[in-house]
Protein backbone atom coordinates (compact mmCIF):
# COMPACT_ATOMS: atom_id res chain seq x y z
CA UNK A 1 0.00 0.00 0.00
CA UNK A 2 2.80 2.37 0.92
CA UNK A 3 4.58 1.52 -2.29
CA UNK A 4 1.52 2.39 -4.36
CA UNK A 5 1.11 5.74 -2.58
CA UNK A 6 4.79 6.43 -3.03
CA UNK A 7 4.46 5.62 -6.71
CA UNK A 8 1.48 7.94 -7.09
CA UNK A 9 3.37 10.74 -5.32
CA UNK A 10 6.37 10.30 -7.62
CA UNK A 11 4.11 10.32 -10.69
CA UNK A 12 2.40 13.44 -9.44
CA UNK A 13 5.71 15.19 -8.76
CA UNK A 14 6.89 14.23 -12.22
CA UNK A 15 3.73 15.73 -13.75
CA UNK A 16 4.19 18.91 -11.67
CA UNK A 17 7.83 19.21 -12.82
CA UNK A 18 6.78 18.68 -16.41
CA UNK A 19 4.06 21.32 -16.12
CA UNK A 20 6.49 23.74 -14.41
CA UNK A 21 8.87 23.33 -17.32
CA UNK A 22 6.06 24.10 -19.72
CA UNK A 23 5.11 27.15 -17.63
CA UNK A 24 8.75 28.34 -17.57
CA UNK A 25 8.94 27.86 -21.31
CA UNK A 26 5.77 29.92 -21.74
CA UNK A 27 7.21 32.58 -19.48
CA UNK A 28 10.43 32.73 -21.51
CA UNK A 29 8.45 32.99 -24.72
CA UNK A 30 6.27 35.67 -23.18
CA UNK A 31 9.33 37.67 -22.16
CA UNK A 32 10.76 37.27 -25.63
CA UNK A 33 7.47 38.28 -27.19
CA UNK A 34 7.26 41.26 -24.87
CA UNK A 35 10.82 42.27 -25.74
CA UNK A 36 10.12 41.68 -29.40
CA UNK A 37 6.96 43.79 -29.24
CA UNK A 38 8.82 46.53 -27.41
CA UNK A 39 11.66 46.52 -29.97
CA UNK A 40 9.15 46.34 -32.81
CA UNK A 41 7.31 49.35 -31.43
CA UNK A 42 10.64 51.21 -31.05
CA UNK A 43 11.74 50.48 -34.62
CA UNK A 44 8.27 51.28 -35.94
CA UNK A 45 8.32 54.65 -34.19
CA UNK A 46 11.84 55.43 -35.36
CA UNK A 47 11.08 54.36 -38.94
CA UNK A 48 8.49 57.11 -39.12
CA UNK A 49 10.98 59.58 -37.61
CA UNK A 50 13.72 58.66 -40.09
CA UNK A 51 11.35 58.73 -43.06
CA UNK A 52 9.67 62.10 -42.44
CA UNK A 53 12.14 64.17 -40.38
CA UNK A 54 12.93 67.54 -41.95
CA UNK A 55 16.15 68.45 -40.12
CA UNK A 56 18.92 66.81 -38.11
CA UNK A 57 17.96 68.35 -34.75
CA UNK A 58 14.45 66.93 -35.11
CA UNK A 59 15.92 63.47 -35.86
CA UNK A 60 18.21 63.63 -32.82
CA UNK A 61 15.48 64.81 -30.49
CA UNK A 62 12.90 62.16 -31.42
CA UNK A 63 15.44 59.33 -31.67
CA UNK A 64 16.95 60.01 -28.25
CA UNK A 65 13.54 60.40 -26.62
CA UNK A 66 12.45 57.01 -27.96
CA UNK A 67 15.74 55.35 -26.98
CA UNK A 68 15.75 56.75 -23.44
CA UNK A 69 12.22 55.50 -22.81
CA UNK A 70 13.01 52.04 -24.17
CA UNK A 71 16.34 51.68 -22.36
CA UNK A 72 15.22 53.56 -19.23
CA UNK A 73 18.15 56.01 -19.34
CA UNK A 74 18.22 58.97 -16.95
CA UNK A 75 20.53 61.09 -19.13
CA UNK A 76 20.93 61.15 -22.88
CA UNK A 77 22.68 63.46 -25.31
CA UNK A 78 24.44 63.98 -28.62
CA UNK A 79 28.01 65.25 -28.37
CA UNK A 80 29.58 66.65 -31.55
CA UNK A 81 33.25 66.98 -32.47
CA UNK A 82 34.64 70.49 -32.88
CA UNK A 83 36.23 71.68 -36.14
CA UNK A 84 39.67 70.38 -35.13
CA UNK A 85 38.30 66.97 -34.15
CA UNK A 86 39.93 67.39 -30.73
CA UNK A 87 37.01 67.92 -28.33
CA UNK A 88 33.36 67.12 -27.96
CA UNK A 89 30.72 69.75 -27.35
CA UNK A 90 27.14 69.17 -26.20
CA UNK A 91 24.61 69.55 -29.02
CA UNK A 92 21.30 68.11 -27.87
CA UNK A 93 19.81 65.95 -25.13
CA UNK A 94 18.08 65.88 -21.77
CA UNK A 95 19.27 65.89 -18.19
CA UNK A 96 22.75 67.23 -18.93
CA UNK A 97 23.76 70.72 -17.82
CA UNK A 98 26.02 72.18 -20.56
CA UNK A 99 27.03 75.19 -18.43
CA UNK A 100 28.66 72.86 -15.86
CA UNK A 101 30.42 70.59 -18.34
CA UNK A 102 34.22 70.63 -18.59
CA UNK A 103 35.88 70.21 -22.03
CA UNK A 104 35.72 66.57 -23.16
CA UNK A 105 38.79 65.53 -25.18
CA UNK A 106 38.45 63.09 -28.06
CA UNK A 107 41.54 61.19 -26.89
CA UNK A 108 41.36 59.32 -23.59
CA UNK A 109 37.64 59.68 -22.92
CA UNK A 110 35.04 56.92 -23.17
CA UNK A 111 33.35 58.79 -26.01
CA UNK A 112 36.68 59.07 -27.82
CA UNK A 113 37.34 55.34 -27.38
CA UNK A 114 33.90 54.54 -28.79
CA UNK A 115 34.55 56.79 -31.78
CA UNK A 116 38.03 55.48 -32.61
CA UNK A 117 37.04 51.82 -32.08
CA UNK A 118 33.85 52.45 -34.07
CA UNK A 119 31.71 50.37 -31.72
CA UNK A 120 29.16 50.72 -28.94
CA UNK A 121 30.94 50.79 -25.57
CA UNK A 122 29.40 50.08 -22.19
CA UNK A 123 31.00 51.21 -18.94
CA UNK A 124 29.14 49.63 -15.97
CA UNK A 125 31.43 51.27 -13.39
CA UNK A 126 31.93 54.69 -14.90
CA UNK A 127 32.98 56.46 -11.70
CA UNK A 128 35.76 53.91 -11.19
CA UNK A 129 37.08 54.28 -14.75
CA UNK A 130 40.68 55.54 -14.98
CA UNK A 131 40.91 59.16 -16.11
CA UNK A 132 37.14 59.62 -15.98
CA UNK A 133 35.84 63.08 -16.83
CA UNK A 134 32.73 63.72 -14.72
CA UNK A 135 30.10 65.97 -16.32
CA UNK A 136 29.04 67.36 -12.92
CA UNK A 137 25.58 65.84 -12.97
CA UNK A 138 23.36 65.39 -9.93
CA UNK A 139 23.00 62.49 -9.38
CA UNK A 140 26.30 61.36 -10.87
CA UNK A 141 26.60 59.13 -13.91
CA UNK A 142 27.40 55.58 -12.75
CA UNK A 143 26.80 53.66 -15.98
CA UNK A 144 27.45 55.08 -19.46
CA UNK A 145 26.68 53.73 -22.91
CA UNK A 146 28.29 55.36 -26.01
CA UNK A 147 27.71 54.85 -29.73
CA UNK A 148 29.67 56.57 -32.55
CA UNK A 149 28.05 58.73 -35.22
CA UNK A 150 29.85 58.43 -38.55
CA UNK A 151 28.55 60.32 -41.58
CA UNK A 152 29.93 59.65 -45.06
CA UNK A 153 32.81 57.77 -43.48
CA UNK A 154 33.83 60.67 -41.20
CA UNK A 155 33.58 60.63 -37.40
CA UNK A 156 31.22 63.42 -36.35
CA UNK A 157 30.04 62.71 -32.81
CA UNK A 158 28.70 60.37 -30.13
CA UNK A 159 25.35 59.33 -28.68
CA UNK A 160 25.70 59.08 -24.90
CA UNK A 161 23.19 57.36 -22.61
CA UNK A 162 23.83 57.34 -18.86
CA UNK A 163 22.35 55.47 -15.88
CA UNK A 164 20.71 52.90 -18.14
CA UNK A 165 18.73 50.09 -16.46
CA UNK A 166 21.48 47.43 -15.89
CA UNK A 167 18.93 44.60 -16.23
CA UNK A 168 18.50 45.28 -19.92
CA UNK A 169 22.05 46.37 -20.76
CA UNK A 170 22.86 43.25 -22.81
CA UNK A 171 19.83 43.99 -24.97
CA UNK A 172 20.60 47.70 -25.03
CA UNK A 173 23.94 47.43 -26.86
CA UNK A 174 22.67 45.72 -30.05
CA UNK A 175 19.58 47.95 -30.05
CA UNK A 176 21.69 51.10 -29.78
CA UNK A 177 24.02 49.83 -32.49
CA UNK A 178 21.14 49.19 -34.89
CA UNK A 179 19.41 52.47 -34.10
CA UNK A 180 22.66 54.42 -34.56
CA UNK A 181 23.18 52.93 -38.01
CA UNK A 182 19.62 53.83 -39.00
CA UNK A 183 20.11 57.30 -37.54
CA UNK A 184 23.30 57.87 -39.57
CA UNK A 185 21.55 56.74 -42.76
CA UNK A 186 18.74 59.21 -42.06
CA UNK A 187 21.20 62.04 -41.39
CA UNK A 188 23.09 61.27 -44.60
CA UNK A 189 19.78 61.41 -46.48
CA UNK A 190 19.08 64.83 -44.98
CA UNK A 191 22.60 65.98 -45.88
CA UNK A 192 22.11 64.87 -49.48
CA UNK A 193 18.72 66.55 -49.58
CA UNK A 194 20.21 69.78 -48.22
CA UNK A 195 23.06 69.56 -50.73
CA UNK A 196 20.57 69.20 -53.59
CA UNK A 197 18.60 72.18 -52.27
CA UNK A 198 21.78 74.27 -52.11
CA UNK A 199 22.64 73.19 -55.67
CA UNK A 200 19.23 74.30 -56.95
CA UNK A 201 19.54 77.51 -54.97
CA UNK A 202 22.98 78.11 -56.49
CA UNK A 203 21.54 77.79 -60.00
CA UNK A 204 18.69 80.15 -59.11
CA UNK A 205 21.21 82.62 -57.69
CA UNK A 206 23.29 82.54 -60.85
CA UNK A 207 20.28 83.24 -63.07
CA UNK A 208 18.71 85.86 -60.79
CA UNK A 209 21.92 87.88 -60.43
CA UNK A 210 22.59 87.60 -64.17
CA UNK A 211 19.10 89.02 -64.85
CA UNK A 212 19.65 91.68 -62.20
CA UNK A 213 22.86 92.91 -63.81
CA UNK A 214 22.00 92.60 -67.48
CA UNK A 215 20.59 96.15 -67.68
CA UNK A 216 23.58 98.04 -66.24
CA UNK A 217 27.28 98.40 -67.00
CA UNK A 218 28.07 100.98 -64.33
CA UNK A 219 30.58 99.50 -61.86
CA UNK A 220 29.09 101.07 -58.71
CA UNK A 221 25.55 100.17 -59.76
CA UNK A 222 26.61 96.55 -60.32
CA UNK A 223 28.22 96.31 -56.88
CA UNK A 224 25.31 98.03 -55.11
CA UNK A 225 22.74 95.71 -56.66
CA UNK A 226 24.69 92.56 -55.77
CA UNK A 227 25.36 93.81 -52.23
CA UNK A 228 21.64 94.39 -51.70
CA UNK A 229 20.68 91.03 -53.24
CA UNK A 230 23.16 88.81 -51.35
CA UNK A 231 21.34 88.95 -47.94
CA UNK A 232 18.34 87.31 -49.63
CA UNK A 233 20.36 84.18 -50.35
CA UNK A 234 21.15 83.26 -46.74
CA UNK A 235 21.11 84.90 -43.32
CA UNK A 236 23.38 87.93 -43.40
CA UNK A 237 24.06 90.79 -40.98
CA UNK A 238 26.62 92.68 -43.08
CA UNK A 239 27.69 92.49 -46.74
CA UNK A 240 30.72 94.51 -47.93
CA UNK A 241 32.40 94.70 -51.34
CA UNK A 242 36.02 95.92 -51.41
CA UNK A 243 37.86 96.73 -54.65
CA UNK A 244 41.47 97.50 -55.56
CA UNK A 245 42.09 101.24 -55.90
CA UNK A 246 44.52 103.06 -58.24
CA UNK A 247 47.36 102.51 -55.77
CA UNK A 248 46.72 98.76 -55.57
CA UNK A 249 45.16 98.78 -52.08
CA UNK A 250 41.80 97.18 -51.32
CA UNK A 251 39.16 99.58 -50.04
CA UNK A 252 35.46 99.03 -49.21
CA UNK A 253 33.30 100.65 -51.91
CA UNK A 254 29.72 99.51 -51.19
CA UNK A 255 27.98 97.78 -48.29
CA UNK A 256 24.68 96.49 -46.99
CA UNK A 257 23.39 98.13 -44.83
CA UNK A 258 24.43 101.21 -46.78
CA UNK A 259 27.68 102.88 -45.62
CA UNK A 260 28.26 100.20 -42.97
CA UNK A 261 32.02 99.51 -42.56
CA UNK A 262 33.49 96.18 -41.50
CA UNK A 263 33.38 95.80 -37.69
CA UNK A 264 31.21 98.94 -37.59
CA UNK A 265 34.22 101.28 -37.58
CA UNK A 266 35.98 102.62 -40.68
CA UNK A 267 39.56 102.58 -39.36
CA UNK A 268 39.39 99.18 -37.65
CA UNK A 269 37.40 97.89 -40.63
CA UNK A 270 40.26 98.69 -43.03
CA UNK A 271 42.72 96.92 -40.70
CA UNK A 272 40.34 93.95 -40.50
CA UNK A 273 40.14 93.82 -44.32
CA UNK A 274 43.93 93.98 -44.61
CA UNK A 275 44.29 91.07 -42.14
CA UNK A 276 41.75 89.02 -44.09
CA UNK A 277 43.64 89.47 -47.35
CA UNK A 278 46.97 88.72 -45.68
CA UNK A 279 45.67 85.42 -44.30
CA UNK A 280 43.53 84.59 -47.37
CA UNK A 281 45.52 86.07 -50.30
CA UNK A 282 43.44 84.16 -52.86
CA UNK A 283 40.31 86.00 -51.68
CA UNK A 284 38.62 82.77 -50.53
CA UNK A 285 38.04 82.77 -46.77
CA UNK A 286 35.74 81.07 -44.25
CA UNK A 287 35.71 81.75 -40.50
CA UNK A 288 33.04 79.72 -38.72
CA UNK A 289 33.24 81.72 -35.48
CA UNK A 290 34.86 85.17 -35.37
CA UNK A 291 34.84 85.17 -31.55
CA UNK A 292 37.05 82.08 -31.14
CA UNK A 293 40.70 81.12 -31.60
CA UNK A 294 42.27 84.03 -33.54
CA UNK A 295 41.89 87.48 -31.99
CA UNK A 296 42.37 89.11 -35.42
CA UNK A 297 38.82 88.12 -36.32
CA UNK A 298 37.25 89.34 -33.08
CA UNK A 299 34.08 91.29 -33.78
CA UNK A 300 32.74 93.92 -31.34
CA UNK A 301 29.13 92.83 -31.89
CA UNK A 302 28.25 89.49 -30.26
CA UNK A 303 25.18 89.19 -32.49
CA UNK A 304 27.38 87.97 -35.36
CA UNK A 305 29.17 84.63 -35.68
CA UNK A 306 30.55 83.52 -39.07
CA UNK A 307 32.37 85.28 -41.91
CA UNK A 308 32.70 84.23 -45.52
CA UNK A 309 34.73 85.89 -48.30
CA UNK A 310 34.91 85.24 -52.06
CA UNK A 311 37.23 86.73 -54.73
CA UNK A 312 36.29 89.03 -57.62
CA UNK A 313 38.62 88.51 -60.60
CA UNK A 314 38.90 90.69 -63.69
CA UNK A 315 41.11 89.36 -66.50
CA UNK A 316 42.51 86.71 -64.15
CA UNK A 317 43.65 89.27 -61.58
CA UNK A 318 42.23 89.64 -58.06
CA UNK A 319 40.50 93.03 -58.15
CA UNK A 320 38.12 92.74 -55.22
CA UNK A 321 36.35 90.62 -52.62
CA UNK A 322 32.79 90.26 -51.38
CA UNK A 323 32.46 89.65 -47.63
CA UNK A 324 29.38 88.54 -45.70
CA UNK A 325 28.97 88.21 -41.93
CA UNK A 326 26.22 86.01 -40.50
CA UNK A 327 24.09 86.19 -37.32
CA UNK A 328 24.92 84.11 -34.26
CA UNK A 329 22.20 81.56 -35.06
CA UNK A 330 23.77 80.75 -38.46
CA UNK A 331 27.09 78.93 -38.87
CA UNK A 332 28.58 79.39 -42.32
CA UNK A 333 30.03 76.33 -44.01
CA UNK A 334 31.16 75.11 -47.42
CA UNK A 335 27.64 75.45 -48.85
CA UNK A 336 27.57 79.17 -47.97
CA UNK A 337 31.08 79.60 -49.38
CA UNK A 338 30.10 77.92 -52.66
CA UNK A 339 27.01 80.09 -52.97
CA UNK A 340 28.98 83.28 -52.31
CA UNK A 341 31.56 82.09 -54.85
CA UNK A 342 28.82 81.97 -57.49
CA UNK A 343 27.81 85.53 -56.59
CA UNK A 344 31.45 86.67 -56.88
CA UNK A 345 31.78 84.92 -60.25
CA UNK A 346 28.70 86.74 -61.53
CA UNK A 347 30.21 90.05 -60.37
CA UNK A 348 33.50 89.18 -62.09
CA UNK A 349 31.83 88.29 -65.40
CA UNK A 350 29.63 91.41 -65.36
CA UNK A 351 32.54 93.73 -64.52
CA UNK A 352 34.66 92.11 -67.24
CA UNK A 353 31.83 92.59 -69.74
CA UNK A 354 31.41 96.21 -68.64
CA UNK A 355 35.16 96.79 -68.91
CA UNK A 356 35.27 95.24 -72.38
CA UNK A 357 32.32 97.28 -73.65
CA UNK A 358 33.81 100.43 -72.15
CA UNK A 359 37.06 99.64 -73.91
CA UNK A 360 35.22 99.15 -77.21
CA UNK A 361 33.37 102.41 -76.68
CA UNK A 362 36.65 104.20 -75.94
CA UNK A 363 38.14 102.77 -79.14
CA UNK A 364 35.13 104.07 -81.08
CA UNK A 365 35.39 107.51 -79.43
CA UNK A 366 39.14 107.98 -79.15
CA UNK A 367 42.08 108.07 -81.50
CA UNK A 368 44.19 104.92 -81.09
CA UNK A 369 47.56 106.66 -81.37
CA UNK A 370 47.10 109.73 -79.15
CA UNK A 371 44.16 108.89 -76.87
CA UNK A 372 42.47 112.16 -77.90
CA UNK A 373 38.86 112.17 -79.06
CA UNK A 374 38.59 111.35 -82.77
CA UNK A 375 37.11 113.16 -85.75
CA UNK A 376 33.68 111.51 -85.42
CA UNK A 377 33.40 112.66 -81.81
CA UNK A 378 34.45 116.16 -82.88
CA UNK A 379 31.49 116.35 -85.25
CA UNK A 380 29.05 115.30 -82.50
CA UNK A 381 30.51 117.56 -79.81
CA UNK A 382 30.85 120.69 -81.95
CA UNK A 383 27.23 120.35 -83.07
CA UNK A 384 26.05 120.07 -79.43
CA UNK A 385 28.20 122.99 -78.29
CA UNK A 386 27.05 125.27 -81.14
CA UNK A 387 23.38 124.49 -80.36
CA UNK A 388 23.92 125.14 -76.66
CA UNK A 389 25.77 128.41 -77.37
CA UNK A 390 23.01 129.68 -79.65
CA UNK A 391 20.23 128.67 -77.28
CA UNK A 392 21.66 130.23 -74.14
CA UNK A 393 23.63 133.02 -75.85
CA UNK A 394 26.92 131.86 -74.35
CA UNK A 395 30.52 132.10 -75.57
CA UNK A 396 32.34 129.37 -77.47
CA UNK A 397 35.87 129.23 -78.89
CA UNK A 398 37.33 126.73 -81.35
CA UNK A 399 41.10 126.29 -81.88
CA UNK A 400 42.43 124.42 -84.91
CA UNK A 401 46.14 123.73 -85.28
CA UNK A 402 48.54 121.49 -87.15
CA UNK A 403 52.23 120.60 -87.19
CA UNK A 404 54.16 122.64 -89.76
CA UNK A 405 56.22 120.77 -92.38
CA UNK A 406 55.13 117.44 -90.88
CA UNK A 407 55.13 115.63 -94.25
CA UNK A 408 58.74 116.59 -94.92
CA UNK A 409 59.67 115.52 -91.34
CA UNK A 410 57.89 112.21 -91.86
CA UNK A 411 59.61 111.56 -95.17
CA UNK A 412 63.03 112.40 -93.67
CA UNK A 413 62.91 110.50 -90.36
CA UNK A 414 60.23 107.87 -91.06
CA UNK A 415 56.68 107.24 -89.87
CA UNK A 416 57.59 105.73 -86.41
CA UNK A 417 59.40 108.92 -85.47
CA UNK A 418 56.52 110.94 -86.91
CA UNK A 419 54.10 109.04 -84.68
CA UNK A 420 56.19 109.92 -81.65
CA UNK A 421 56.03 113.60 -82.61
CA UNK A 422 52.24 113.40 -82.91
CA UNK A 423 52.00 111.76 -79.46
CA UNK A 424 54.32 114.41 -77.96
CA UNK A 425 52.17 117.22 -79.36
CA UNK A 426 49.03 115.47 -78.09
CA UNK A 427 50.44 115.27 -74.57
CA UNK A 428 51.31 118.97 -74.71
CA UNK A 429 47.77 119.85 -75.80
CA UNK A 430 46.32 117.78 -72.92
CA UNK A 431 48.63 119.37 -70.36
CA UNK A 432 47.81 122.98 -71.32
CA UNK A 433 44.04 122.41 -71.68
CA UNK A 434 41.51 122.93 -68.92
CA UNK A 435 39.33 120.11 -67.61
CA UNK A 436 36.31 121.73 -69.31
CA UNK A 437 38.04 121.84 -72.72
CA UNK A 438 37.65 119.02 -75.26
CA UNK A 439 40.71 118.01 -77.30
CA UNK A 440 40.52 116.12 -80.64
CA UNK A 441 42.82 114.68 -83.27
CA UNK A 442 41.07 115.99 -86.34
CA UNK A 443 43.14 113.92 -88.75
CA UNK A 444 46.79 113.37 -89.66
CA UNK A 445 48.81 116.11 -87.97
CA UNK A 446 45.74 118.34 -87.40
CA UNK A 447 44.21 118.95 -83.94
CA UNK A 448 41.23 120.90 -82.60
CA UNK A 449 40.29 122.18 -79.16
CA UNK A 450 36.74 123.21 -78.15
CA UNK A 451 36.68 125.75 -75.31
CA UNK A 452 33.14 126.26 -73.86
CA UNK A 453 32.32 129.53 -72.06
CA UNK A 454 35.45 131.13 -73.55
CA UNK A 455 35.98 134.26 -75.65
CA UNK A 456 38.78 134.85 -78.12
CA UNK A 457 40.54 137.09 -75.62
Q: Give the pLDDT of residue 98.
A: 81
The confidence score (pLDDT) of residue 282 equals 93
Q: How many residues does the chain have?
A: 457
**Can you give the chain as a three-state secondary structure string?**
CHHHHHHHHHHHHHHHHHHHHHHHHHHHHHHHHHHHHHHHHHHHHHHHHHHHCCCHHHHHHHHHHHHHHHHCCCEEEEEEECCCCCEEEEEEEECCCHHHCCCEECCCCHHHHHHHHCCCEEECCHHHCCCCCCCCCCCCCCCEEEEEEEECCEEEEEEEEECCCHHHHHHHHHHHHHHHHHHHHHHHHHHHHHHHHHHHHHHHHHHHHHHHHCCCCCHHHHHHHHHHHHHHCCCCCEEEEEEECCCCCEEEEEEECCCCCHHHCHHHHHHHHHHHHHHCCCCCEEECCCCCCCHHHCCCCCCEEEEEEEEEEECCEEEEEEEEEEECCCCCCHHHHHHHHHHHHHHHHHHHHHHHHHHHHHHHHECCCCCCECHHHHHHHHHHHHHHHHHHCCCEEEEEEECCCHHHHHHHHCHHHHHHHHHHHHHHHHHHCCCCCEEEEEECCEEEEEEECCCCC
Sequence ranges of the domains in the chain: 1-52, 55-189, 215-361, 375-452
Range 224-245 average pLDDT: 87
pLDDT tens for 101-117 read: 888 888 888 899 999 99
Residue 230 has pLDDT above 90, yes or no: no
Q: Is the pLDDT of residue 200 over 70?
A: yes
Q: Do domains 215-361 and 375-452 have the same CATH topology?
A: no
Span 177-198, pLDDT tens digits: 888 888 888 888 888 887 777 7
For the cut 60, the answer to whether the pLDDT of residue 422 exceeds it is: yes
297-306, 358-367, 376-385 — which one is most confidently predicted on average? 376-385
Q: How far apart are CA 173 and CA 119, in angstroms?
A: 10
d(CA 80, CA 106): 10
Angle of CA points 118, 111, 41, to nearest 5°:
70
Note the pLDDT of residue 28. Answer: 63
What's the confidence (pLDDT) of residue 165? 78
pLDDT confidence of 48, banded at 50, 70, 90? Answer: confident
pLDDT digits (tens, 9 = 90+) for 310-330: 999 988 889 999 999 999 888
End-to-end CA distance of the chain: 162
Q: Which residue has the higher pLDDT, 27 or 51?
A: 51
Q: Which whole-number Å values give the CA distances from 186 to 52, 118, 153, 396, in the listed order?
A: 10, 18, 14, 80
> How much is the mean pLDDT over the chain?
83
Q: 313 and 319 in contact (C-beta within 8 Å)?
A: yes
pLDDT at 91: 87
pTM of structure: 0.55
Which CATH number does the domain 375-452 belong to among 1.20.1250.20, 3.30.56.10, 1.10.10.10, 3.30.70.270? 3.30.70.270
The pLDDT of residue 243 is 92
Alpha-carbon distance 382 to 379, whole Å? 5
**Percentage of the residues of the chain whose pLDDT score is greater than 70:** 89
pLDDT classification of 214: cutoffs 50, 70, 90: low
Q: What pLDDT, on a 0 to 100 scale, did the predictor assign at position 33?
A: 47
Q: How many Cβ atoms are within 10 Å of 362's Cβ, its own excluded?
A: 11
**In the predicted structure, residue 37 carries a pLDDT above the cut 60:** no
pLDDT of residue 181: 86
Tens of pLDDT along 70-86? 888 889 889 998 877 88
User: In this model, does residue 29 exceed pLDDT 90?
Assistant: no
Work out the average pLDDT over 254-270: 83
Q: pLDDT tens digits, residue range 117-164?
A: 999 998 888 888 877 777 877 888 888 899 999 988 888 999 999 888
Question: What confidence score (pLDDT) does residue 100 get?
Answer: 79
CATH code that applies to domain 55-189: 3.30.450.40
**In angstroms, rounded to a whole number, what is the distance separating the alpha carbons of residues 294 and 290?**
8
User: 399-405, long-range: CB within 8 Å, 24+ apart, which pairs?
Assistant: 399/448, 399/449, 399/451, 400/442, 400/446, 400/447, 400/448, 401/446, 401/447, 401/448, 401/449, 402/444, 402/445, 402/446, 402/447, 403/445
Range 160-175 average pLDDT:
82
Q: Which fold has domain 215-361?
A: Beta-Lactamase (3.30.450)
Please report the pLDDT score of residue 281 as a whole number: 93
C-alpha distance from residue 326 to each of 59, 67, 321, 346 (Å): 25, 35, 16, 21
Residue predicted with more confidence, 397 or 299 = 397
Amino acid sequence: MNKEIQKQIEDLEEKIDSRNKVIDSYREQLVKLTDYKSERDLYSELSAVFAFASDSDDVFKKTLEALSLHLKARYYGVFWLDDRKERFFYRHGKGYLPALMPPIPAIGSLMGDSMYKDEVLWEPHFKERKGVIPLNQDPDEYTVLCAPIKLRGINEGIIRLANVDPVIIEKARPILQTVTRLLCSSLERLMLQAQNEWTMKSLDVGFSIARLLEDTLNKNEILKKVCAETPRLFKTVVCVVAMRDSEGDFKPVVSWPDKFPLTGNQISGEIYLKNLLNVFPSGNGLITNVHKDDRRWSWPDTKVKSLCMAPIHIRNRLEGVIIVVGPRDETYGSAHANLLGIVASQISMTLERASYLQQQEDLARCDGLTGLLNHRMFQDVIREEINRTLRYNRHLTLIMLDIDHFKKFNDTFGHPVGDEVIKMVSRTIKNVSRTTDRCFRYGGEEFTIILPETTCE
